[in-house]
Amino acid sequence: MANQSSQNKSKPSQVDLDEIATAISSPDYVEKRNQALTQIGKTLHEQDNQDGFIKAKEDANRALAENKIILKNRFVLEATLGAGGMGTVYKAQDLRKVEAQDTNPYVAAKVLNNDFKEHPDSFIALQREASRSSKLAHPNIVTVHDFDRDGDTIYMTMELLEGEDLDSLLRKKRNQGLPKQQAMQILKDYCNALSFAHKKGIIHCDLKPANIFVTKEGAKVLDFGIARLALQTQDHFDAGKIGALTPAYASIEMFNNESPDQADDVFAAAIIAYELFSGRHPYNSKSAPAAQALKMEPRPIEGLTKKQWRALSSALKLDKAERTKTIGEFLTGMTVKTKFPALVLLTSILALASAGLTYLEFFGEDELNAVVQETLVTAQNCFKSQDFECTISSANAILKIAPDHTEATQLLKDAEAANEQLVFNRNLLLLITDATDCLENRDYVCAITESTEVLELEPGNQQAIEILKSARKAQASIELGFENHMASANLCLTNADYSCAIEEADKALEFKPEAAQAISIKQNADYALKQEAQAQAQALNKARNIVRDGRNCFAKYDYSCAIAKSESALEFVPNYQPALKLKRDAERAIADAKKAIQIE
């Protein structure tokens, strides 16, 4: 993920809606826009160093100024903010906010790379995931507004942040790291974001410094869920190629195409933590498989307590079986001070276990029994309070000391089953709540998507069936109304009845407020009306000048000239009253002259 900008508070430039309407009505507009976007993305991605990237941004911004680029007739791309493996990020002005006179009409628009264009099924999956990710309302997760496509161009819009991505920040502190207090705060922020998402069943799968943005308010994680879906749909395209897998931060399990797991995010989170405190990668930026083949081990970091180093080194384990299981466990190890002597003893015992040493060489049997008993009580209390992660962690700790402990084995089995059911129920409740909210807010596409997901999990869920039925019925009504008014709008446009076209397009937009085809008809009709009015004004001006010449002819008694001039003016403006009057006056004058001749 590339940098966003600190320009979001600047005064928005004046948007010329007529210029935009003219641009998008051009027959070759889409082709030119796609060529410009492709060239900009290529220019940015070809630069590896910071100086080259700055120069590339300047070139890209000049290209944006020369090519008016608008997505979905709504988002005007004004400047490039950066580029990542999955696409290019732009600062965009939201015309809807401009019309509402919003003081800050800017958003960040991420245009995904060309690998997505050939795979409509993957686009649908990504759109669904983005819809779920947009509901991750958390102070440490960037707010996703929308995920959509404009022709072949696939993009997502999100809040425009002020600050700097962590990748840039770490490059400035290479081989030295950030101050411990700052590093710890950033670690807490992105771990809290991951923990929140994990509880909702969403794994990031592409956590890296470039996907963490540091603001004055705290660090925020970007691209939640998009990378995970890209990995899950990799039978359609290369997930690594589109940036869904970053070798230096991906676990061995991800390279092996195993199902996404919280432990994947734990591994990446620990690597980033190592970089925060030391300024270097724990495995010299080598991939996990390469580090394993070379039997590499991270070097301890000065300034960390023994407890913090144990927590960090455990989360950095290349083997998933040895690695810390959850973000909560990792964060606790890095931040929470031990309060009870028994826990200190337990930590020491587990450290010995990881080193392959025998407990009884260092501790007496009574001490071990005391630790086991106290940890068992903790596990039982955690189970009663439905804190199953705590139960699982405590039971596993007991089983490392006493592998055949019957109560701990059963408790672990019960906790894992209960936790799985709890996660299932939470996800189901979340989806049903979302589906209900969507139905109440008349977002029927969302209601259909969410209720369908519920039925995939629980086919007989009556609430989801009713929501799906209601949403489909309402959506069908919307589609019918929309299509009827669109047909009328197209007919009016064909017949050059532009006022009628605008009226019908407005009615269609009442059914689908963001329908691009209705907006396009309205803009084209409005533009045609303006052109028509301009032509009428020019014709009126010509008629006025011709009538003036005709009056000069009349004043010189050249009545034939006056009649010819009036008829010429009427060709420009039929029923133009001054021209009709001049013609009548000239014809009357000729008739009077003829009468006078007969009398003589």
Model confidence pLDDT, tens digit, residues 398-425 = 888 788 999 989 999 998 888 888 778 8
pLDDT > 90? residue 27: no
pLDDT > 60? residue 527: yes
pLDDT at 15: 55
- Mean pLDDT, residues 547-561: 92
Tell which residue, 127, 120, 198, has the closest CA to residue 156. Answer: 127
> Strands (DSSP E) along 208-258, which ranges?
212-215, 218-221
The dihedral through the CA atoms of 48, 54, 59, 62 has a sign that is positive
CB 257 within 8 A of CB 267: no
- Mean pLDDT, residues 290-301: 92
* Pairing outcome for strands 153-158 and 212-215: unpaired
- Crossing angle of helices 516-555 and 559-572, rounded to 10°: 180
pLDDT > 90? residue 305: no
pLDDT at 244: 56
The number of helices, as runs of H, and strands, as runs of E, in the chain is: 23, 9
Taking the CA atoms of residue 491, residue 25, residue 541 and residue 492 in that order, the dihedral angle to the nearest 10 degrees is 10
| Helix/strand/coil percent split, the chain, to 5 | 60, 10, 30
- Quickly state the pLDDT bin for 563 (edges 50, 70, 90): very high
pLDDT at 186: 96
Residues 6+ positions from 30 with CB-CB distance below 8 Å: 151
Give Dmax over CA atoms of the chain in angstroms. Answer: 150
The two tokens of residue 440 are: 């109440």
Of the listed ranges 38-42, 382-386, 437-441, the one predicted with least confidence: 38-42
pLDDT > 80? residue 587: yes
pLDDT at 594: 83
- Report the mean per-residue pLDDT for the chain: 80
pLDDT at 542: 93
- Mean pLDDT, residues 542-564: 93
DSSP 144: E
Residues 6+ positions from 438 with CB-CB distance below 8 Å: 444, 446, 447, 450, 471
Collapse the DSSP code of 261 into the 3-class scheme (helix H, G, I; strand E, B; otherwise coil) and give the result: coil
Collapse the DSSP code of 75 into the 3-class scheme (helix H, G, I; strand E, B; otherwise coil) and give the result: strand
Q: Using one digit for the tens of pLDDT, what is the confidence trace for 177-228? A: 999 999 999 999 999 999 988 888 788 888 999 889 999 889 999 877 555 5
Residue whose tokens read 């002259």: 593
Structural domains of the chain, with CATH? 163-337 (1.10.510.10), 517-599 (1.25.40)
- Quickly state the pLDDT bin for 339 (edges 50, 70, 90): very low
Q: Using one digit for the tens of pLDDT, what is the confidence trace for 308-337? A: 999 999 999 999 999 999 999 999 999 865
Distance CA 502, CA 516 (A): 14
pLDDT at 337: 55
Bridge partner list, 79:
91
pLDDT at 89: 84
Percent of the chain with pLDDT over 90: 32
* Sheet arrangement for strand 144-150: 70-71, 75-84, 87-94, 106-112, 153-158, 144-150
> Strands (DSSP E) along 25-128, which ranges?
70-71, 75-84, 87-94, 106-112
**Selected residue with higher pLDDT from 552 and 86:** 552
Q: Using one digit for the tens of pLDDT, what is the confidence trace for 137-152? A: 788 988 888 778 887 7
CB 542 within 8 A of CB 510: no
**Sequence letter at residue 478:** I
The two tokens of residue 140 are: 């440490």
pLDDT at 540: 92
pLDDT at 480: 93
Distance CA 160, CA 143 (A): 9
Global confidence as pTM: 0.52
What is each CA distance from 439 to 146, 148, 434, 473, in whole angstroms? 18, 20, 9, 11
pLDDT > 60? residue 442: yes
* Sheet arrangement for strand 218-221: 164-165, 212-215, 218-221
pLDDT at 21: 58
- Quickly state the pLDDT bin for 7 (edges 50, 70, 90): very low
- Mean pLDDT, residues 116-131: 58
pLDDT at 309: 95
CB 168 within 8 A of CB 53: no
Burial of 162 (0-12, 13-18, 19+ CB in 10 A): middle
Bridge partner list, 587:
none
Please state, as a whole number, how many other Cβ atoms lie within 10 Å of the Cβ of residue 293. Answer: 11
pLDDT at 427: 76
Burial of 358 (0-12, 13-18, 19+ CB in 10 A): exposed
Tell which residue, 452, 446, 515, has the closest CA to residue 150. Answer: 515
pLDDT at 242: 43
Tell which residue, 236, 205, 257, has the closest CA to residue 85. Answer: 205
pLDDT at 10: 41
Collapse the DSSP code of 119 into the 3-class scheme (helix H, G, I; strand E, B; otherwise coil) and give the result: coil
